[in-house]
Structure 1
């Protein structure tokens, strides 16, 4: 059995590995590190100071990362009775929320195709490409919402 210090070290290593993957995928490195620190933390919440200490980054870097992560629905600011400091935690269903937010992008892509079809029509090279695009993004919008709903139901039923 691992002692608590070894477990914490191994969790930090896995968090850093995921943060590297996320930053290679386009997320800002510090934002990815803050997100994964909260994801892999054995504590329910962490303060900005704890994040600074754990990640060895400045309070400004933590603040910037938090300000990027909260609107995405990945993390949230939570009250901590008896503490005047802000506490942050990884949100329940954060992954489903993140994927659900992708529906905005899907809708924008559908709208772009619809606008092009309105101008060019459905015939011809442009129309055929835009028709396929519109059909694809319409399908993805419908299926993504239904898929997320089914996952939430399944997950919540398993947690009961």
Structure 2
């Protein structure tokens, strides 16, 4: 990768077509959110890996234009002394979420593991001869009914995680 702080270019070894080709068999979930004015890419441009890298590389310089907003978003309420003083004077109780932080990390890990298992199940359903049953006690049979039932169970567990996160 090369470029100054305001410019980002992919080097020859990371040409977008080669990178996209290497990632073709990879599942990636990307969420892009931008607020605060300006544009991170032209509206008519599709999101590609290259445009995502460009947007992410430009983020630090955009933060520099108004660091107060970033500080306000990233700083816990308890670390903002003016807010703490105002809340105490206004008799506002600010909830703390530190006790559920590890719990939510574990839920995310479980969700991503389920997602990976769904990909494997889909691959097994698409080409069952490419797989062989495990010798583990709790293995999944490679017959279509078992694979479909397991997929249904995994999707149910994923939905439970989403409901838990929504309730938090």
TM-score calculated relative to the size of structure 1: 0.30
More strand by share: 1
Higher helix share: 1
Q: Return the TM-score normalized by structure 2.
A: 0.29
